[in-house]
């Protein structure tokens, strides 16, 4: 990837002026702090900001419910009965999937469990689950509890790949070597496409290929990847994936989540699954037959009818993604995060190191900054100066300039404030 690294000659304000996406900043509500000043919001990796159109979409459904009652399921501007199809269309382009390979339902960890019901099928010889070290705790708990559910000890069943001694990121070659060496005992490879802590982006295509050679099922948790980096889940031949929509997708706190199931798997009716009426063939769903006939594709994993008030914010947000396109967002993102890295390196400070890979191909927009000491206090002082970012033990402040609404000036001001503090 070619990146323009002539940051010295460009001031932040000049880069903002020539940024074709700057106008999108106006399409989001940027939180203000006590004195009415805008915050420097660098925590879209935890909760994305609210698009200004979101309220209209929620109000629309409140109104439809008020005026039409139950008829809102098949009447009104966006009938609830087919609401998920509208979302799937837009979501598929972010996932790099066929339309029938994605569905929006439940929440992320719940979906990981439901997908493991189908895709973690341990046998005596092949029962292990491979993960990256320091996976998001919820994923670790989910995996450990699935192992226990099947009668295995998590300590024996989890294969964790770590960075080498003295390194902060995991080498792809080490992942591939472990798959090759231990693959025959691994039932499932489940990795965070971008690790939430280090910000490392994994080579999902290669991992999937290597896993399949060994006969493993390969899934990804894309909570930190969706809407952050371009994805090609179908072409990479990934078996399944899951993500939440409140981080880079900006659909609001706890908003409904999504999953991907590759058509190779989605059309396989022999896979075990926990079924519910919403996954049943739409033609006969309301004839209320007693035998379950799954919808082919990801929609067949639905259990309940969609939470419309939670799903409504997805539409305006996904429309913004359609309008701009992941390629343009990624292009700005690489530059914006590159600028952040450049300014941090200019500080030449002994107080911290960046633990996120410096290769843009191995990261999204987030940089994780590890402080030698006093990370928590530094975070508190940043907060006192209107910077919104987050702190994760041990010693790491995660900073994520989101290309939709962060400016080069945000990044510049953040580093100036950090410079004062350290
Ligand atoms: C944010 C995040 C979660 C959160 O799980 P919920 O079920 O939405 O509460 C889980 N896993 C990863 C990797 C995450 O980044």
Task: Select the more confidently predicted residue: 267 or 164.
Answer: 164
* Ligand 1 atom having least distance to the Cα of 221: 13
Cα atoms found within 13 Å of the Cα of residue 236, Cβ hemisphere only: 26
As a whole number of angstroms, the distance between CA 232 and CA 270 comes to 26
Does ligand 1 lie within 6 Å of residue 96's CB atom?
A: no
Residue in 45, 106, 107, 108 to alter for ligand 1 test, most ligand atoms within 8 A of Cβ: 108
Residue 184, classed as helix, strand or coil, is helix
Domains of the chain: 9-30+325-421 (3.90.1150.10), 59-321 (3.40.640.10)
The pLDDT score that the predictor gives to residue 4 is: 55
Q: For the chain, give the mean pLDDT.
A: 95
CA nearest 361: which of 212, 172, 175? 172
Does ligand 1 lie within 6 Å of residue 108's CB atom?
A: yes
pLDDT tens digits, one per residue of 44-101: 999 999 999 999 999 999 999 999 999 999 999 999 999 988 999 999 999 999 999 9
pLDDT tens digits, one per residue of 95-134: 999 999 999 999 999 999 999 999 999 999 999 999 999 9
Q: What is the radius of gyration, based on Cα positions, of the chain?
A: 22
The protein residue with its alpha carbon nearest to ligand 1, atom 1, reads: 223
Is 185:128 a contact under the CB 8 Å cutoff? Answer: yes
Q: How confident is the model at residue 3 (pLDDT cuts 50, 70, 90)?
A: low
The protein residue with its alpha carbon nearest to ligand 1, atom 10, reads: 138
pLDDT tens digits, one per residue of 4-47: 566 876 799 999 999 999 999 999 999 998 778 899 999 999 99
Q: How confident is the model at residue 197 (pLDDT cuts 50, 70, 90)?
A: very high
d(CA 109, ligand 1 centre) in Å: 6
pLDDT tens digits, one per residue of 169-193: 999 999 999 999 999 999 999 999 9
The pLDDT score that the predictor gives to residue 2 is: 47
d(CA 251, ligand 1 centre) in Å: 14
pLDDT tens digits, one per residue of 333-344: 999 999 999 999
pLDDT tens digits, one per residue of 224-241: 999 999 999 999 999 999
Instruction: Supply the DSSP symbol for 398.
Output: E
Other residues' Cβ atoms within 10 Å of the Cβ of residue 337: 25
The pLDDT score that the predictor gives to residue 9 is: 66
As a whole number of angstroms, the distance between CA 45 and CA 25 comes to 16
The pLDDT score that the predictor gives to residue 269 is: 82
Average pLDDT over residues 327-331: 98
Whole-model pTM: value is: 0.96
């Amino acid at each position: 990837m070619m990146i323009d690294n002539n940051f010295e000659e460009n001031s932040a304000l000049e880069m903002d002026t020539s940024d074709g996406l700057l106008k999108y900043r106006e399409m989001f509500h940027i939180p203000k702090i006590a004195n009415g000043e805008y915050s420097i919001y660098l925590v879209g990796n935890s909760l994305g900001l609210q698009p200004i159109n979101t309220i209209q979409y929620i109000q629309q459904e409140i109104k439809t419910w008020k005026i039409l009652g139950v008829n809102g399921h098949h009447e009104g501007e966006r009938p609830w009965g087919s609401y998920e199809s509208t979302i799937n269309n837009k979501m598929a382009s972010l996932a790099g999937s066929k339309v029938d390979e994605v569905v929006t339902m439940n929440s992320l960890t719940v979906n990981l469990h439901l997908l493991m019901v189908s895709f973690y099928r341990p046998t005596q010889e092949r029962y292990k689950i491979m993960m990256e070290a320091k996976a998001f705790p919820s994923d670790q708990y989910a995996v450990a509890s699935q192992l226990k559910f099947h009668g295995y000890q998590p300590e024996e069943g989890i294969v964790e790949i770590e960075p080498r001694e003295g390194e902060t990121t995991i080498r792809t070659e080490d992942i591939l070597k472990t798959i090759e060496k231990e693959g025959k005992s691994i039932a499932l490879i489940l990795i965070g496409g971008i690790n939430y802590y280090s910000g490392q982006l994994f080579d999902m295509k290669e991992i999937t290929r290597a896993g399949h050679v060994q006969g493993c099922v390969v899934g990804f948790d894309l909570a930190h990847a969706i809407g952050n980096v371009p994805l090609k889940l179908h072409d990479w031949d990934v078996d399944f994936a899951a993500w939440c929509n409140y981080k880079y997708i900006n659909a609001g706190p706890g908003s409904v989540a999504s999953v991907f199931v590759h058509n190779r798997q989605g059309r396989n009716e022999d896979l075990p699954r926990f079924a519910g009426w919403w996954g049943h063939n739409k033609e006969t769903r309301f004839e209320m037959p007693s035998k379950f006939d799954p919808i082919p594709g990801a929609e067949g994993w639905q259990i309940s009818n969609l939470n419309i008030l939670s799903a409504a914010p997805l539409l305006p947000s996904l429309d913004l993604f359609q309008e701009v396109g992941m390629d343009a967002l990624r292009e700005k993102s690489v530059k914006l995060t590159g600028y952040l890295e450049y300014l941090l390196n200019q500080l030449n400070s002994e107080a911290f190191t960046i633990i996120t890979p410096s290769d843009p191909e191995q990261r999204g927009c987030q940089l994780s900054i590890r402080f030698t000491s006093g990370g928590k206090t530094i975070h508190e002082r940043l907060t006192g100066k209107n910077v919104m970012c987050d702190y994760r033990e041990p010693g790491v402040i995660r900073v994520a300039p989101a290309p939709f609404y962060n400016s080069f000036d945000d990044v510049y001001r953040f580093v100036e404030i950090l410079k004062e503090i350290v």
